[in-house]
Amino acid sequence: MCGIAGWIGPEAGWDAEAFRKGLLRRGPDGSGVWQSERATLVHTRLAILDLSEAGAQPMERGRGQEAEGGRRAAVLAFNGEIYNFRELRAKLEAEGERFVSDSDTEVLLCLLVREGEACLSKLAGMFAFCFWDEKTGEALLARDAFGIKPLYYRADGGTLAFASEVRLLQRADDRMDGNALRDYFLWGSVPEPATLSAAVRQIPAGHLLRWKNGKATLEAWQEAGGGRQEAGGMRQWAGVVREALLESMRRHLVSDVPVGIFLSGGIDSTVVLALAREVMGAGADIRTFSIGFEDPAYDESGIARRTAEHFGARHTEWKMTADEGAAEIPAFLEAMDQPSIDGFNTWCVSKLAHREGIKVVLSGLGGDEWFAGYRSFGRLPRFRLAHRLSGPLRPLAARLLETRPAGTPWQRLAAFLRGGGSWLEAYHAQRGIFTDEEAGAITKIFTDRALRSAFQESLSLPVHPREAVSVLEVTRYMRNQLLRDSDVFSMAHGLELRVPLVDVRLAEMLRNIPPEIRLRKGKKLLLEAVPEVPEWVINQPKRGFRFPFQQWIEGRFGELLADAKRQSPVQLETWYRTWAVAAALQQLRSFGAARD
């Protein structure tokens, strides 16, 4: 796990040392710069596999063997983990390849030299990389199928610059992307491929970018689509799911350093702990981490503690005081690479794990999306049914809903009834922050440009309603909010966060299960597959990982919220709407972009 950056083409004002320093928190264990007349690749290392110098990057193909003209022919800057690298390596060795390290980086580099982008479908893991072929003058940049690891780029003239963080590619005179800002106010995060800078884009999940002769070509290498939907009963599928979960867990435990687990006390993190216990064995030392609070209204640490004891894990808890929590907010805001309404929980528990000397942790992220853990699975089909059945009564129903207090979800539901009734509009009624009209009004404070339509639904969705919701949750909320926040705020502490429930091979199997079985209410299939989950975890109300964040920031940073209310042209009655504007203002101050 690492940070990567660099450029292909003329220097165009970029500085390798500035890139290296900007990425050090992502890779505190080492760094390197590779340069030729046509390319510069920068890497900072968080050593997880092959801790020796043999695993250092940027890595050149044929270490110790000079290529034509005294330059080695190919070089790789790679961020992520290829969990099946030993299996791939064994096949390559059988075909005559030789390796000098025990790293996944060298295996990936060998595959790219031999097969180019055709090798991507063989990879089980999370990745973002830049592969440069000095001989052909072609660069290949790619991200994993779910977009677990980030990769941003900008093309200025004949130069392509790339980095793991947006801030490294922004310039003070960049024009702000008004549509990206409006979309943030709609959803609480900036949807890919956009960033607040109109000049900086993100390579979409499952896509690759090919750069040659000063031109970029972007294409999908893997789509997160549907499956074959094979027949089978609940009991049969529970066994299949369990084996697939265990296989994913075995992959995600591949490491040359200890691996910990974030334990919230909910079903998904408990599933991860139960699977890890089976894979690692009864005597293995498993470390778990959670956050608790002095305020009993928010403190749920007792459940996590009890669960850790049940599975024989060594549990570490940070019982945060109000002063400790408030003291974390400035650094948390500083680490934010794009505006987000969430992520503080990840920041805090990542700091705890790092403080305890851990470099790799597992998270239960993904369970709600694959096994219908959100309320959206029931609500969205009902929203669309109500839209369809209300017919000519929709305008009246919308007017009645608009009489409810401003800033509440009822306002978004009213906007949905006035709209076309699409899945994306229904999803916004459930997940959104501001209505389209409100988001546009706030955005106009910073830009006068015309905004495109907010709800252009280009995603092809399955026919089954609950399966359609699952695709929306995976490709919207999980991809743009949860995975991005997990990466940004864990890597801010030099911590690699792995998500065994967000695994390509696991997903391929899950998509084959009929939705009426996989997406039953209450995550029934997941609980059938992992019956070790204790009843005190199953029967507790679903509350999420809650923090007294509102109290802390109101008490110590009240001016930040007051400023948001002063600048907003719409009412900000609810806490989460006020915080959404405040977080954006913080980003816009540090962004330095010219306002239109």
Alpha-carbon span 264 to 271, nearest angstrom: 11
Indicate the annotated binding residues. 104, 291, 363-364
Alpha-carbon span 261 to 353, nearest angstrom: 9
Residue 248 structure tokens: 């994913």
**φ and ψ at residue 136, rounded to 5 degrees:** -90, -15
Alpha-carbon span 393 to 142, nearest angstrom: 49
Indicate the annotated binding residues for ATP. 291, 363-364
**Gyration radius (Cα) of the chain, Å:** 24
HEC profile for 71-140?
A: CCCEEEEEEEEECCHHHHHHHHHHCCCCCCCCCHHHHHHHHHHHHHHHHHHHCCEEEEEEEEECCCCEEE
381 CB-near residues (< 8 Å, 6+ apart):
465, 466, 469
- Of the candidates 196, 220, 191, the one whose C-alpha atom is nearest the C-alpha of residue 472 is 191
For 176-225, strand residue ranges (E) read 201-202, 207-212, 215-220
Specify whether 2 is catalytic.
yes
The answer to whether residues 451 and 182 touch, using CB atoms and an 8 Å cutoff, is yes
Q: What is the DSSP string of 216-228?
A: EEEEES-------
Alpha-carbon span 466 to 376, nearest angstrom: 9
Alpha-carbon span 212 to 204, nearest angstrom: 19
HEC profile for 495-528?
A: CEEECCCCCHHHHHHHCCCCHHHHCCCCCHHHHH
Q: What per-residue string of b and e applies to 375-403 under the rule 16 or more CB within 10 Å gives b? A: ebbebbbebbebbeeeeeebeebbeebee
CA distances from 585 to 209, 296, 348 (A): 32, 32, 22
Other C-beta atoms closer than 10 Å to the C-beta of 547 total 18
Indicate the annotated binding residues for L-glutamine. 104
Which of 2, 110, 130, 348 is an active site residue? 2
The answer to whether residues 553 and 327 touch, using CB atoms and an 8 Å cutoff, is no
Helical segments of 341-459, H only: 344-355, 367-370, 376-390, 394-401, 409-418, 423-431, 436-443
Alpha-carbon span 85 to 318, nearest angstrom: 35
Q: Is the peptide bond before 548 cis (omega within 30 degrees of 0)?
A: no
419 CB-near residues (< 8 Å, 6+ apart):
425, 455
Alpha-carbon span 161 to 77, nearest angstrom: 13
- Catalytic center residues: 2
